[in-house]
């Protein structure tokens, strides 16, 4: 079983579409079609186990933030963790996308991550917010704003690494 991360492109569309079908079976709201992930608005990174795409996320320029949004529309299929750990940096396949996303953008930030504030919009976003608070204590991210962003109240975190 070999795990690898790499940039995704139009040559990977069939693989991406198969992955999105899996996400639709799981009733993931923002990850069910090329339209819902806003495929043409971002550059994408995927994690593969052997030849199967098990995680993907995008990076895109956000004019409103004057910076790049990391882990955009990020999703990992259930049952896949890098390492059993409470530390997201060690356990998350998506988190390992960040270095590639920074390479894609030329390494010139600033870089941001966002999550929904309201737990009704997703328990996972609420958990992510708690993880981000812990990362802010380590200086990895800073909460820079809480505002309506893309019609949803979101925390805006500046990524510092």
pTM, entire model: 0.88
DSSP label of 66: T
pLDDT at 125: 64
Structure token digits, residue 13: 């569309």
Closest CA to 44 of 72, 4, 81: 72
For residue 115, the model assigns a pLDDT of 87
CB 114 within 8 A of CB 69: yes
Query: What local confidence, expressed as pLDDT, does residue 124 receive?
Result: 61
Strand-pair category, 3-8 with 52-62: unpaired
Name residues whose C-beta falls within 8 Å of residue 26's C-beta, 6 or more positions apart in sequence: 77, 78
Query: Mean pLDDT per segment of 10 residues, for the chain of length 161 residues?
Result: 92 97 91 95 96 96 96 86 55 86 95 83 65 90 92 92 86
* Whole-number Cα distances in Å, 139 to 32, 49, 97, 132: 34, 31, 19, 10
Q: What is the pLDDT of residue 126?
A: 62
| Pairwise CA distance, residues 141 & 45, whole Å | 21
């Amino acid at each position: 079983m070999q795990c690898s991360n790499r940039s995704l492109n139009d040559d990977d569309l069939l693989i991406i579409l198969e992955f999105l079908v899996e996400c639709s079976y799981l009733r993931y709201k923002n990850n069910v079609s090329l339209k819902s992930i806003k495929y043409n608005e971002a550059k994408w990174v995927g994690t593969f186990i052997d030849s199967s795409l098990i995680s993907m996320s995008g990076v895109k320029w956000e004019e409103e933030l004057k910076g790049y949004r990391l882990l955009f529309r990020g999703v990992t299929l259930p049952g896949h963790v890098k390492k059993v750990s409470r530390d997201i940096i060690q356990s998350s396949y998506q988190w390992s996308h960040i270095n590639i996303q920074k390479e894609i953008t030329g390494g010139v930030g600033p870089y941001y991550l966002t999550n929904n504030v309201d737990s009704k919009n997703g328990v996972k976003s609420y958990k992510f917010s708690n993880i981000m608070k812990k990362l802010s204590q380590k200086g990895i991210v800073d909460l820079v704003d809480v505002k309506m962003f893309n019609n949803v109240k979101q925390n805006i975190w500046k990524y510092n690494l």
